Structure 1
Amino acid sequence: MTSPPVVWFVVPKGIDDPARVSGGNVYDREVRDGLRERGWTVSIVECADGAGVASALRSASDGTLVLIDGLAAGWAAPEVEAAAGRLRIAVLAHMLVAAFPDATEPEIEAERRMLRHAHRVIVTGRWTGEEVARRGLADADRITVARPGVRGADAPEPEHDAALLCVGVVAPHKGQDLLLDALDRVPTKDWRCTIAGSTDSYRGYAERIAQRAAAFDGRVRLPGVLVGEALAAAYRRSALLVAPSRVESAGMAIADARARGIPVVGTAVGGIPDTVVGGGAILVRPDDPDALAHALTSWMTDPVLRERLRAEACRAREHLPTWDDTVATIADVLEAA
């Protein structure tokens, strides 16, 4: 009788912690659960730092198949490099560190080392895969795209055509400051905006966003992390998702909005254009609050535009990947490794 396939999945500590909600954590959980449903034995190894990753790799016996989250792998790049000679290592790269403008040379070098020595590299979007190959971090034949999946969700019942939602960690690369700059330029004042996400990672930035939001007389709401029914309710109440990112591999919030048929206004950066293929979106130049304000104003004032984008977004729901698709792709990569 054939034994079930076994993989060690090395992830950052706290992927099930509601206070640490992120697109990467959601993706990791879906992969873990999906592989188990397909009959895999998945041993989760949660690590808080490079020492934990190094210890996990040292304790794995020769030949062990290891799937390691790119964030965790970057914490211990020398250990990943050293272990590649005796373990079968696949790296799951949610994002490319080198694409961030504030990335340091040690961080970029760590990413370079761990990707070059991985036997397989799984990326969450076409743009990330092309960037990894273009930068010479991995050969194209070692890179596989496994796009985030979606789950079926109810169509929205927005409170108002100008009910806006922005979901993601409150951080400079997510561009919440650009959104507030744009909203300040929108001539109509009957909009409402919810900015949901963790404020723990970039506390100084998050405090500045909260201070600026307070100047909008209650029209900007910052509820922090939303999970489960609270997050689902936020989507149901919203007419438009805004994704003002400066850097983005794909955007889990965009995928969630697409699953519900909610149109998107976002920046044309990274993997966002791929995520909104099929229509239902307006893309603007990154780091340009005037362009974002123009797009938001058009949405709020042009009913014909709103109806077109809603119709396109609803049609696009039929062609989105499911999490079963995502997990099947990753299972194939791991079996090949």
Structure 2
Amino acid sequence: MKQAGPIWFLIPGDLATPTGGYRYDRRIIDGLRRLGRHVRTERLDDSFPEPTADALADADRRLAIIPDGDLVIIDGLAFGLLGDVAALHARRLRLIALVHHPLALETGIFAARAEALRMSESRALAVARRVVVTSAATADILIRDYGVPKERIRVVEPGTDPAPLAAGSDESVLNLLCVAATTPRKGHDILLRALAPLVDRPWRLDCVGSLTRCTRTSIALRCLSERLGLSDRVNFAGAVDEPRLDVFYHRADLFVLPTRFEGYGMVLTEALARGLPIVSTGIGPIPNLVPADAGLLVEPDDPAALEVALARVLDDAGLRRSLAAGARSARARLGGWDAASAELGCVLEGVHDG
């Protein structure tokens, strides 16, 4: 077993990008360094997950200069498109794929593109020594749909930072909070349609998250908000820094995530860390993250069901208090980032040469 060389992290684009996947990478890297591991990061081209020929050639060059036997972790946003390139280096490097969620399961792509991504990712994962995923639900998908042997998969769940309990509003107008980039997968359109019939209730919604990841979706959501008569109730705040995000969390009364799919859902555990009641969808890992006494979960893509759940929480102060108590109970069981980094470190120690 080789322990001497550095751990290489290959990440497409800017590591500081404010998404859950990039935040996971940042915190794991920081944690490994605190544990005394030598971690080197390499930035792959920004074009992933639609890599240009130059981007693939650049990835090949970067892998070629890494010494034989070194550990190389490649973020899944790139790894799934690097099948041929990864195969060239798989015998001499200890390649680890870090899969936040399968690329083919992104919402809003054509069926032919989804199938091409599934096939590409399957080829790439076949040459990885280990496949690290952030939830057991994603592990099940890779085993069932991508042919990854169970014994090559390891689950390393994200950590959660301790946070003060949310203060909320004075409840004359309830503050709803959704933290997610405005992409089709996150389901903001479903949330707006669910809230439209509830304008007789006193609420406002802050949508915090990048408005530039999918500009077309952001424009469509603003138009939908106007068409539904919600413009004075809904604030599209865009991406914000951590102190500003803390302010949004602190003044929230209810956390809402109408997502169509999640590999994990870090914002949900962040909401639990603040003792916030949750309304979300019961897909993937979310039922395991959000206890039944802390949130109401509905089917994705069902604005009527989401409307009913939101109405229940908006109308019943006792239910809000009960769900908040459940969230505070779950808060005590959340793991930290140091533990997550140590767990990944153990995974890496088990990746042998040859």
Name the TM tier (shorter chain): over 0.9
> Is this contact kept in 1: 2:263–2:285, CA < 8 A?
yes
Does residue 130 (structure 1) correspond to residue 140 (structure 2)? The answer is yes
Alpha-carbon distance between aligned partners in 1 of 2:268 and 2:57, rounded to the nearest angstrom: 34
One-letter code aligned to 2:131: V
Aligned to 1:76, which of 74, 82, 91?
Answer: 82
Residues 263-272 or 213-222, more deviating: 213-222
Give 1:127 deviation, angstroms.
0.3
RMSD over equivalenced CA pairs, Å? 1.7
Does residue 237 (structure 1) correspond to residue 251 (structure 2)? The answer is yes
Counterpart mapping for 1:1-337 below 5 A: 6-16=6-16, 20-48=17-45, 49-100=55-106, 102=109, 103-161=113-171, 162-186=174-198, 188-214=200-226, 215-277=229-291, 279-337=293-351
> Is this contact kept in 1: 2:208–2:238, CA < 8 A?
yes
Alpha-carbon distance between aligned partners in 1 of 2:215 and 2:83, rounded to the nearest angstrom: 27
Give 1:311 deviation, angstroms.
0.6
> Is this contact kept in 1: 2:5–2:70, CA < 8 A?
no
Q: Point out where structure 2 has 5 or more consecutive residues left out of the alignment.
A: 46-54
SS in 2 for 1:314: helix
Alpha-carbon distance between aligned partners in 1 of 2:116 and 2:65, rounded to the nearest angstrom: 26
Give 1:278 deviation, angstroms.
6.3
Residues 253-262 or 228-237, more deviating: 253-262
SS in 2 for 1:189: coil
Alpha-carbon distance between aligned partners in 2 of 1:277 and 1:11, rounded to the nearest angstrom: 33
Q: Point out where structure 1 has 5 or more consecutive residues left out of the alignment.
A: none
> 2:49 corresponds to which residue?
none
> 2:52 corresponds to which residue?
none
> Is this contact kept in 2: 1:4–1:39, CA < 8 A?
no
Identity of aligned residues (%): 35
